[in-house]
Structure 1
Amino acid sequence: MMPTVLQVLPEDQPPKVLAPTRPQVSIVSTLYRSRPFLEDFLAGCLEALRRLAISDFEIVLVNDGSPDDSLDYVLARRQDVAQLVVVDLSRNFGHHHAMQAGLRHARGELVFLIDCDLEVSPLTLCSFHEKLHETGCDMVFGYQEKRKGGWFEQISGGLFWKGFNLLSETRIPANIVTERLMNRRFVDALLQLGDHNLFLGGMMSWTGFHQIGLAVAKSQRAGASTYTLFKRLNLMIDAVSSFSARPLVWLFNFGGLVTLASFSYAIYLVIRKLFFGDPLLGFTSIMGLIALSLGILTMAIGLVGIYLGKVFTQVQNRPTYIVRDVHR
């Protein structure tokens, strides 16, 4: 909560409540196994703000149940960085939920969202800031012109964005990164969305306003990434099922085609029996059709189950995160 400022007036006049001032910039990041990066990350943030000559700022760090000593380190750093705000979540809720918590606690007129693992340098804030003021847009988002990493990371990342845009009505630029600079009206509009199944990349594109991309260089993270292949697959499923019903439509169309093909094949077998005296083609054909039908049916039930699970999560209306403490 922002403090209420009272203006001191003569005794015969009632006090007037002044609008609380906002920092010029809020830098928002999340903490999960982040201790090796934090010293350089904070130094980079402070250097970027110094280059921009911004003295009125805050750095909002959200502890997403990190199992290392990241929380202890940033709490200790508040002694020499007074503008450091630490939001401590009650447990690990996931990257996108922690970012949402950071955006909700950020008070700045501009909000810079960035990962603290130094794959993108905090100094890029200068480029984002220049682009935003040069174009007058509401958000500048970062993207990679060429994906970093080995062949598997490049191919899987490319397939993720192509698959999402193929299956979803919401279009997202390929190879976008976490880093983006947003003005206050964009952040406020984004936080109005009531999604409980979070995919912030899609939510930000869906929100609209004037958005412009900025190519950024992304280096290889030191140490293993916390985004495993299993987490990436889950993110793909969550992203598509949260923003499109197109897979259900495709499944219906595919089921119709299989039904038509099966019916046509049955008629073909009956005609051969009646007009040519051929015995009905037997066990192998029947078992093949049964296996195919069972596979399609199982896939269909699973797909419908994913969407029903999303509906169940949404109607539960539980908070997407719970804050244990805020150190401001």
Structure 2
Amino acid sequence: MLTPGTTPLRESTAPAPQLSIVTSVYRSEQFIPRFIDEMVAAIGEAGIERYELVFVNDGSPDESLQHLIHARGANASIKIVDLSRNFGHHKAVMAGLAHARGHLLFIIDCDLEVRPGVLPHFLETLRGTGADVVYGIQARRKGAWVERVGGAVFWRLFNRLSDTKVPANVLSERLMTRRYVDALLSLGDRNVFLGGMMYWSGFRQVAVVVEKTQRENASTYSLRKRFALLMEAVTSFSTVPLKMVLAGGLGITLCAGVAGIALVIRKLLHPEAVLTGFTSLMLVIIGMSGIIITVLGVIGLYISRIYTQTQNRPLFIVREFHD
């Protein structure tokens, strides 16, 4: 299978690993040594002999890549997918999945908010249930009040506006079978929102409760990025905003028609009546202008998604693959 990027996967005569760990790297230099140590220990505890650690350098501006290259000298199981620039977390994960060769694949963030020691529990659950996916959820969303409320609002809005339902406290961490990952990679979406894509793909998916701690330094997900992700998610998996715009337009048209008929009847019954109200008229004009601009904006979002999809550009470009 070819990657959704520009570089074909390199064929290998070596046996496929039992497990591939996939993680994206962005401003993560302080976490990399501890993450590798804890991940290798968790893999050993799980009894996995053949494994690979697939790190995707998502255009990280710090020394993360140099740390990874140095670590690879001591552990040949480390693979590095070095992207040509920052493409975003979701596309970086897709790059890692496309380059991973394992029979099972485990996505985990390397910032240690979720400790690698959860791996054995994920493996045990997968084997015990026969599921294709075991994903982590939080019993209670962590972080400050703004982060907790913002996350809850994000998923509530997405689930209300989309036919694809996603658990409200879902985490990035998930263990997947090869057939599920192959199906995920075959979707061909250029507007990538992994949360929706992973549940839209189907298969049997089982949740496990995972403890998530607070990141040591500030999160790289700003409020602006969260809002942009919400727009990406909703417009990629829902046509409800378009239906709401249509319903709103029909409602306004109906109200305007009723008001127009009422004014005509009034004029016929009372010819001497003078229709005045410059202020009211201007408010109506301004209000209608705002509605028209909003409608055009919503339509524009969907047109931009069509434009991106038809461009057929790769999701990511790999500058170098350290295999």
**Does TM, normalized by the shorter one, top 0.5?**
yes
Please tell me whether residue 2 in structure 1 is matched to residue 11 in structure 2: yes
Gaps of 5+ in 1: 5-19
Contact between 1:33 and 1:70, CA under 8 Å: does it hold in 2? yes
TM-aligned CA deviation for residue 40 of structure 1: 1.1
Correspondence for 1:87? 81
- Amino acid corresponding to residue 293 of structure 1 in structure 2: M
Code of the residue aligned with 2:287 in structure 1: it is L
Identity percentage of aligned residues: 50
Counterpart among 294, 313, 316 of residue 318 in structure 1: 313
> What corresponds to 1:34 in structure 2?
28
Deviations 1:114-143 (A, max 9, x none): 111111111111111111111010001111
Which 4+ residue blocks in structure 1 deviate beyond 4 angstroms? none
Letter in 2 for 1:325: E
Whole-angstrom CA distance in 1 between matches of 2:213 and 2:94 = 25
Q: Does 1:191 align with 2:185?
A: yes
Query: What is the deviation of 1:155?
Result: 0.9
In the alignment, which residue of structure 1 is the partner of 2:7?
Answer: none
* Shift, 1:144, TM fit: 1.2
Match of 2:98 in 1: 104
Q: What is aligned with 1:9? A: none
Task: Between 231-240 and 285-294, report the one with greater CA deviation.
Answer: 285-294
CA positional deviation for 1:271: 2.5
- Aligned length in residues: 313
The aligned residue for residue 73 of structure 1 is 67
The Cα shift of 1:279 comes to 2.3
Q: How big is the shift at 1:78?
A: 0.9
* Letter of the structure 2 residue corresponding to residue 202 of structure 1: G
2:6 equivalent in structure 1: none
| Matching residue of 1:64 | 58
Q: Is 1:265 aligned to 2:259, yes or no?
A: yes
Which amino acid counterpart does residue 155 of structure 1 have in structure 2? Answer: V
TM superposition shift of 1:163? 0.3
Measured against aligned partners, the alpha-carbon deviations of 1:201-251 in whole angstroms (never above 9, x if no partner) come to 100101000001111111111111100000000000000101111210111
SS of corresponding position for 1:107 = coil
Using the TM superposition, give the Cα deviation of residue 268 of structure 1 relative to its aligned residue in structure 2, in angstroms.
Answer: 2.0
Q: What secondary structure sits across from 2:298 in the alignment?
A: helix
Tell me, yes or no, if the aligned pair for 1:141 and 1:213 is still in contact at 8 Å: yes
Superposition RMSD in Å: 1.1
Letter in 2 for 1:269: L
Once the two structures are superposed, what CA deviation does each residue of 1:38-60 show, in whole Å capped at 9, x if it has no partner? 11111110110111111210000
Q: 2:302 aligns with which of 303, 307, 312?
A: 307
CA contact (8 A) 1:270 1:280 kept: no
1:78 partner SS = helix
Paired residue type of 1:48: A
